[in-house]
Structure 1
Amino acid sequence: KGCRECQQFGAIQRAPASAIHPIIKPWPFRGWGIDMIGQINPLSSKGHKYILVATDYFTKWVEAIPFKKVDSKDAIQFVKEHIIYRFGLPQTLTTDQGSIFVSDEFVEFVGIPGIP
């Protein structure tokens, strides 16, 4: 439920509880989670609607960058510039399987040898 009225006045959705399993990584920058936040409202002062965020599971280091629009090419460039070039190849890259992360381009990119 995305709109403000639905969040305030809509019925509460009850989901059955499930076990929580921590993600444990033995070294810094070996496992990253990546997600897209957006559309943010109101827009930023420069008109950005989305934020692409990656978090290292060991150190909790965060890399984030705003976008006016995001596609798989932007996500690939983000992973290259903000994760691989700065911290090396990660062992794992975990996504929520959003549309940009399951696109053919992104799947092909992470299928390259040495890319998780």
Structure 2
Amino acid sequence: MVVPKAKVPDVLQLYHSGCSGGHLGVKRTLLKIQERFYWVHCRRDVEDWCRKCTSCAAVKGPQIRSKGALKLYNVGAPWERIAIYVAGPFPVTESGNKYFMVVMDYFTKWPEVFAIPNQEASTVADKLVHKVFCRFGVPLEIHRDQGRNFESQIFQETCRVMGTQKT
């Protein structure tokens, strides 16, 4: 059946937003309409109708999702820049540890994993100085999350004394 231009909004309302429509989206609404009706620029009208539908827009949310800015870090030597992450809690081991501290070199991708009993700043700083800095040297930068253990005065003072910048 050929639909006059004046009746196109009624058909779109019925097949997209009505009881039998259910806000099915462009493809399925277009298929349902094309089974029974025809008019010039049918596809364009269905796409416009679905795009302007406030119920569909409310469910779908914004179409353009913002993405975080990515940075390219150039590292010229091993252990120049490291990343630290504390994972856990895990089941307590026989030696009383229930966290893992993961330290990874950006240049070589070499991971070092240490079992620690807690994630307090003093424990993290102690492990970092005695197990990483003593073996591999002091890095220029330490990349870490914004956990309380990395924001504490002890950790900040350790980085200041060692001459390491936090990112």
Q: TM-score, normalised by structure 1?
A: 0.75
Aligned to 1:33: 83
Q: Which amino acid aligns with 1:67?
A: I
Rounded to whole Å, the distance in 1 between the matches of 2:157 and 2:93 is 34
Between Structure 1 and Structure 2, the one with more strand by share is: 1
Aligned to 1:16: 66
Q: Which amino acid aligns with 2:70?
A: I
Aligned to 1:102: 151
Residue 54 (structure 1) aligned with residue 103 (structure 2): yes
Q: How many residues align?
A: 100
**Unaligned runs of at least 5 residues, structure 1:** 1-14
**Identity rate, percent:** 27
Which runs of structure 1 show a deviation greater than 6 angstroms over 4 or more consecutive aligned residues?
none
**Unaligned runs of at least 5 residues, structure 2:** 1-64
Per-residue Cα deviation, 1:78-116 (whole angstroms, up to 9, x for no partner):
111222101111111111121100011111111115343
Residue from 135, 155, 160 that aligns with 1:86: 135
Q: TM-score, normalised by structure 2?
A: 0.54
Aligned to 2:116: 67
Contact 2:99 2:117 in 1 (8 A): yes
Between Structure 1 and Structure 2, the one with more helix by share is: 2
Rounded to whole Å, the distance in 2 between the matches of 1:67 and 1:113 is 22
Aligned to 1:8: none
Contact 2:138 2:162 in 1 (8 A): no
